[in-house]
């Protein structure tokens, strides 16, 4: 009952925010006519009225705000516009201007179950020209492992999306099974609609979260407690606090004692998508590459070709292919980025089938609930989406 109330409250909040956004846009459209009426008066009168209005605003506002407030406001604006948080001192001389991002909109048919066939394989085709400069240079293009876009490393550098530390990583992984996600797919926050983003921003503001700032374990747990109390009007149970601590560890794979802002933002974005959108709507977010990799995973688990796998096998996929690669796991032949037939040395081959069983406790292996292809997609879609970012952090920790 608590979960249902949580989803209902979240949807109501999004609806309220949507109405506020519409009213705000209507107000913006009315501004030109108001400005024209003001300009019809004398210049002196307009100046006096402006001075009076500014004096009243200053009196109400009190002392001037410090510089941090303007920087924080700019950070919230970048977050709202889907541009993330860029350091103010970042020099963009001789660089391309990043493209304007338009947040997606929900369609009427989004909640209907999509037709994703298991038997009908999809042809994976990448673009032939760089997404940025629209020039074809064959093998020097880096493909995204999620979408169809390809890029030049030089173009990524000029846009500021490829720094010195990440240049080598992109070069090494873009043409491997691990793959590389472009700046569109790397940011899970860009999956949110305008209304959903305003809802998330409202939650972050109420919990005093500052954009761009790393979160320690205490900060993360305090935030989770506040969100839970706002939704359910009661203290978060100890079991959920332990799960939140596990999620923090998953977001901090290098054990630095804090989680990066972008990882926290991606985690909260995928959490909000799970709460607001039904699974059918999430399935429509999958790209052809992701659907094809899911087919390869399911067919590898369906050894008897009856169209069903056991629940334990579905959980295996969740804990291996549909989660992040750790550095020590890069030698594994099967991953969320795998496309094509499963190699003989992979964990899903008959030879190594027993070794995969060690991943799960014996009590979990005894579960016999069968899952078909549509159910497999529904139960794993959130983990497939959460595996998009390049970061080694697990943005959605699978339940034990």
Residues 395 and 288 in one domain: yes
Residue 197 lies in a domain: yes
**224: containing domain:** 188-276
Residue 379 lies in a domain: yes
Residue 130 lies in a domain: yes
Residues 249 and 286 in one domain: no
Provide the CATH number for the domain around residue 211: 1.10.238
Residue 248 lies in a domain: yes
Burial 318-356 (b: 16+ CB within 10 A, else e): bebbbbbbeeeeeebebbbbbeeebeeebbbeeeeeeeb
Domain end position, chosen among 164, 186, 208:
186
Residue 137 lies in a domain: yes
Answering whether pTM is above 0.75, one says no
Residue 290 lies in a domain: yes
Residue 380 lies in a domain: yes
**Nearest-angstrom CA–CA distance, 204 and 249:** 21
* pLDDT tens-place values along the chain, 400 residues long: 444 445 556 556 655 556 555 555 555 454 444 444 444 444 444 444 454 455 555 444 444 444 456 777 777 776 777 655 454 444 444 455 556 678 889 988 889 999 999 988 888 889 989 988 888 876 678 899 999 999 988 888 887 777 666 667 777 787 777 788 998 899 999 999 999 999 999 999 999 999 889 999 999 999 999 999 998 999 999 999 999 999 999 999 999 999 999 999 999 999 999 999 999 999 999 999 999 999 999 999 998 889 999 988 888 888 777 765 444 333 333 333 333 333 333 333 333 333 333 344 444 444 578 999 999 999 999 999 999 999 889 999 887 6
In sequence order, which ranges of 255-340 are alpha helices (DSSP H)?
Answer: 261-276, 279-283, 288-301, 311-319
Q: How many CB atoms lie within 10 A of CB 317?
A: 26
Q: How many domains does the structure of the chain reveal?
A: 3
């Amino acid at each position: 009952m608590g979960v249902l109330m949580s989803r209902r409250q979240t949807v109501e909040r999004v609806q309220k925010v949507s109405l506020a956004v519409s009213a705000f846009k209507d107000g913006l459209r009315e501004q030109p006519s108001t400005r024209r009426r003001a300009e019809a008066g004398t210049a002196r009168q307009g100046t006096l009225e402006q001075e009076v209005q500014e004096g009243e605003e200053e009196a109400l506002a009190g002392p001037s705000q410090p510089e941090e407030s303007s920087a924080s406001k700019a950070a919230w604006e970048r977050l709202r516009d889907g541009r993330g948080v860029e350091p103010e001192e970042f020099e963009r001389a001789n660089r391309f201007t990043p493209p304007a991002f338009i947040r997606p909109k929900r369609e009427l048919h989004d909640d209907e179950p999509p037709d994703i066939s298991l038997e009908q394989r999809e042809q994976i085709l990448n673009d032939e020209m760089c997404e940025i400069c629209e020039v074809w240079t064959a093998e020097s293009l880096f493909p995204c492992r999620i979408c169809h876009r390809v890029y030049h490393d030089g173009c990524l550098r000029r846009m500021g999306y490829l720094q010195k530390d990440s240049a080598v990583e992109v070069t090494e992984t873009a043409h491997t099974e691990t793959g590389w996600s472009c700046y569109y797919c790397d940011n899970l926050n860009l999956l949110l609609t305008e209304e959903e983003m305003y809802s998330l921003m409202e939650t972050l503001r109420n919990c005093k979260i500052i954009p761009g700032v790393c979160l320690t374990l205490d900060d993360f747990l305090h935030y989770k407690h506040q969100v839970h109390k706002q939704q359910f009007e009661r203290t978060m149970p100890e079991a959920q606090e332990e799960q939140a601590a596990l999620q923090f560890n998953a977001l901090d794979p290098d054990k630095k004692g804090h989680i990066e802002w972008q990882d926290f933002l991606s985690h909260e974005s995928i959490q909000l998508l799970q709460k607001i959108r039904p699974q059918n709507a999430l399935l429509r977010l999958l790209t052809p590459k992701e659907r094809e990799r899911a087919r390869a995973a399911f067919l590898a688990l369906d050894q008897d070709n009856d169209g069903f796998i056991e629940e334990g096998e579905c959980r295996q996929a969740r804990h291996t292919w549909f989660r992040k690669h750790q550095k020590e796991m890069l030698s594994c032949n099967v991953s969320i980025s795998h496309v094509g037939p499963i190699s003989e040395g992979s964990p899903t081959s008959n030879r190594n089938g027993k070794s995969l069983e060690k991943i799960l406790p014996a009590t979990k292996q005894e579960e016999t609930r069968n899952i078909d292809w549509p159910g497999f997609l529904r139960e794993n879609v959130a983990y497939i989406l959460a595996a998009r970012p390049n970061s080694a952090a697990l943005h959605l920790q699978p339940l034990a």
